[in-house]
Homo-oligomer: A and B are copies of this chain.
Amino acid sequence: MGTKFSTRVWVSVVGIASIFLGSKGYADTVISVADFGLKPDTRENAVAYVQKAIEACRGKEPVTLVFPEGRYDFWPQYAHEKNYYETNTYDVFPKRLAMLFEGLHNITVDGNGSQFVMHDRIQPITVENCDGVTLKNFSIDWDIPLTAQARVTKVGSDFFEIEINVLESPYIIEDGKLVFVGEGWKSALGSMIEFESDTHFVVPGTGDLVLGRNWRDYTAVSPRYGIVRLSRKGGFERYPAEGNWLVLRHSTRDHAGIFICGSHDVRLSDVQVYHTAGLGILAQYSSDIAFKKVSVEPNAAKGRILSGHDDGFHLMGCKGKITVDSCRWAGLMDDPINVHGTCVRVVKVLSSDKVVCRFMHDMSKGMEWGFPGDKVGMIENNTMRTVATANIRSFKAIDEYEFELELTSDLPEEIGVGAALENLTWTPDVDIRNSFFGSCRARGLLVSTPGKVVIENNVFESSGSAILIAGDANYWYESGAVKDVLIKGNDFRYPCMSSMYQFCEAIISIEPEIPQPDTKYPFHSNIRIENNTFNPFDYPILYAKSVDGISFTGNVIQRNTTYKPFHKRKAAVTLVKCRRAKIKDNKIIGDVLGAPGGKLSIVKE
């Protein structure tokens, strides 16, 4: 196995590479993939060529690896394979790595506007144990994506018909079910999301219930290839509308689009991620990551409604500063941004300073959760109160679910089996601005970090809550409490909060999962929502639970009437077990549902 480059070719490469030194306006050493025989637009598998080019960069830092503009195809053949435990991703092993940057320092990858076209289930870019990495000027897409889409062409009394572009989503009907068959895989339709034909917004009031709750006993037939009729005895509970688009979800989330781990100072700019086999851009246990003009959107040139398989940017256990500027997301099958840590549960107390902890979610296990010296918060899991902090003396994995943790001080009395631990060292400051949160399944922005958070000058057209500040140590085990959040100058447009998803209590939903919330010990603190504009078609604008210091001031609110109100909450603001709330100086324009008589309705629970 492995490609065979002759010594002669290798030597000539070094010769050619040196010609590029400084000749293209780069300050660095410049190595081109072309030097290794890779030409754009050949449709040939680029993997082995790019591996050679990356290896040639080693030791020549600062170095720029350039791709002459064009299309490059990547297939699993020759791909490096490693077993990464990627958070919020299923541990399907091995992970296939189209391009692996490992242990490199001061490297720039410049695609010059190239298209990286992937095939089969694969992780396009992996950055492991690097520092000083710039990725820029390229797009990532699949010819045959790992999610399908279809247009609704006919709706009958107990059936509806859809049209599928079979060039990009070939399918078979197997045992009466719609099953997609791709490059090295086969997977059955699992769920669907309905997008409006004109706006490409998720249809209001649908969420994951396009056909209602009971539809999996459907029968599919294909009267001609490309047309599929789905019917159900007695009909479906709900039908999508003729002309609308369905994203037909299938397959699992098993690879990120760009995976960054153990890396520091990573900058992405002018990168379009049109599709992925899982999360879009995932960073974990990394620091100082900057996104500038990075998008995870449908590829309009291909008529795509679907974009990534799951979240857009997912940052777990990161530290330093995360900056997101002028980025865009749309057509995702999960949240555009999710910044959080991972809580673990104490399952055994071995001694006064030693515990066994367990990763509580299938998709967040196997990771190296903490390092000696890291600061740990100890959370009593009924009130979600951080009882004490300590530092890690040692971390030792037992298996992929459990690890032994030795601390620098004794556990307080309240912390025992069932308590949660949170790593407070790997928590970042977050700055998100000038970005466009288009219509995606689920929420817009999830943020859970005690660091300084600024969310400024963004536009939200989210289907669920635009912003969700959750934090739980009981279900997803995504930590943690926020301490300093500024939400300022954003534009929350009418599609926000038009479908229900988990934790969506209002356009801005602060909804930590606390079994027994106690006003004495608020979970979150210091959240300022100011000078934003809201165009709600429904009542709930803000829901806040267990916050010490929540302000909602200087906002302009004007009703939009495009959609019909549906939410169970009939107040603009709901405050649950909050302290020091300040809701004032907001401007109400005209008839706002949650502001009868021009005054925001506030419910306290």
| Cross-chain pairs A/B with CB under 8 angstroms, 25 sampled | A1-B1, A1-B2, A1-B78, A1-B79, A1-B80, A1-B81, A2-B81, A3-B94, A43-B182, A43-B184, A43-B185, A44-B184, A45-B76, A45-B184, A75-B183, A75-B184, A76-B77, A77-B78, A77-B79, A77-B184, A119-B183, A166-B167, A167-B167, A167-B170, A183-B183
Q: A4 vs B3: C-alpha distance in the bound complex, in angstroms?
A: 21
Q: Cβ of A186 < 8 Å from any Cβ of B?
A: yes
Q: A73 vs B44: C-alpha distance in the bound complex, in angstroms?
A: 20
Name A's B-contacting residues (CB within 8 A): 1-4, 41-45, 73, 75-81, 83, 93-94, 119-120, 166-167, 170, 181-186, 225
Residue numbers in B under 8 Å from A1 (CB-CB): 1-2, 78-81
Are B77 and A44 in contact (CB-based, < 8 A)? no
Interface-centre pick from A77, A119, A170 (highest chain B CB count, 10 A): A77
Contacts A4-B93, A167-B166, A167-B170; A185 near B76 (Cβ below 8 A): no
Residue of B nearest to A181 (CB): B43
Residue numbers in B under 8 Å from A80 (CB-CB): 1
Q: A175 vs B238: C-alpha distance in the bound complex, in angstroms?
A: 49
Residue numbers in B under 8 Å from A75 (CB-CB): 75-77, 120, 183-184
Q: A369 vs B3: C-alpha distance in the bound complex, in angstroms?
A: 27
Residue numbers in B under 8 Å from A83 (CB-CB): 4
The distance from the CB of A187 to the nearest CB of chain B, in whole angstroms, is: 9
The distance from the CB of A255 to the nearest CB of chain B, in whole angstroms, is: 15
Interface SS majority for chain A: loop
Q: A418 vs B165: C-alpha distance in the bound complex, in angstroms?
A: 61
The distance from the CB of A311 to the nearest CB of chain B, in whole angstroms, is: 26
The distance from the CB of A46 to the nearest CB of chain B, in whole angstroms, is: 10
Are A4 and B94 in contact (CB-based, < 8 A)? yes
Q: A80 vs B42: C-alpha distance in the bound complex, in angstroms?
A: 23
Q: A93 vs B3: C-alpha distance in the bound complex, in angstroms?
A: 9
Q: A182 vs B143: C-alpha distance in the bound complex, in angstroms?
A: 11
The distance from the CB of A115 to the nearest CB of chain B, in whole angstroms, is: 14
The distance from the CB of A93 to the nearest CB of chain B, in whole angstroms, is: 7
Q: A41 vs B185: C-alpha distance in the bound complex, in angstroms?
A: 10
Residue numbers in B under 8 Å from A2 (CB-CB): 1, 81
Name the one of B4, B42, B77, B185 contacting A77, with C-beta atoms under 8 angstroms. Answer: B77
Q: A2 vs B167: C-alpha distance in the bound complex, in angstroms?
A: 30
Residue numbers in B under 8 Å from A120 (CB-CB): 75
Q: A344 vs B181: C-alpha distance in the bound complex, in angstroms?
A: 49
Residue numbers in B under 8 Å from A76 (CB-CB): 45, 75, 77
Residue of B nearest to A41 (CB): B186
Q: A361 vs B44: C-alpha distance in the bound complex, in angstroms?
A: 28
9 further A-B pairs in the complex, CB-CB below 8 A; given A1-B2, A167-B225: A1-B1, A1-B80, A1-B81, A4-B83, A43-B184, A43-B185, A44-B184, A44-B185, A73-B184
Q: A568 vs B225: C-alpha distance in the bound complex, in angstroms?
A: 49
Q: A119 vs B77: C-alpha distance in the bound complex, in angstroms?
A: 12
Q: A83 vs B3: C-alpha distance in the bound complex, in angstroms?
A: 11
The distance from the CB of A301 to the nearest CB of chain B, in whole angstroms, is: 14
Residue of B nearest to A44 (CB): B184
The distance from the CB of A44 to the nearest CB of chain B, in whole angstroms, is: 6
Residue of B nearest to A73 (CB): B184
Are A42 and B81 in contact (CB-based, < 8 A)? no
The distance from the CB of A429 to the nearest CB of chain B, in whole angstroms, is: 39
Contacts A76-B75, A167-B166; A43 near B81 (Cβ below 8 A): no
Residue numbers in B under 8 Å from A44 (CB-CB): 184-186
The distance from the CB of A150 to the nearest CB of chain B, in whole angstroms, is: 17
Residue numbers in B under 8 Å from A185 (CB-CB): 43-44
The distance from the CB of A449 to the nearest CB of chain B, in whole angstroms, is: 36
The distance from the CB of A96 to the nearest CB of chain B, in whole angstroms, is: 8
Q: A43 vs B182: C-alpha distance in the bound complex, in angstroms?
A: 8
Residue numbers in B under 8 Å from A79 (CB-CB): 1, 77
Residue numbers in B under 8 Å from A42 (CB-CB): 186
The distance from the CB of A272 to the nearest CB of chain B, in whole angstroms, is: 21
Residue of B nearest to A93 (CB): B4
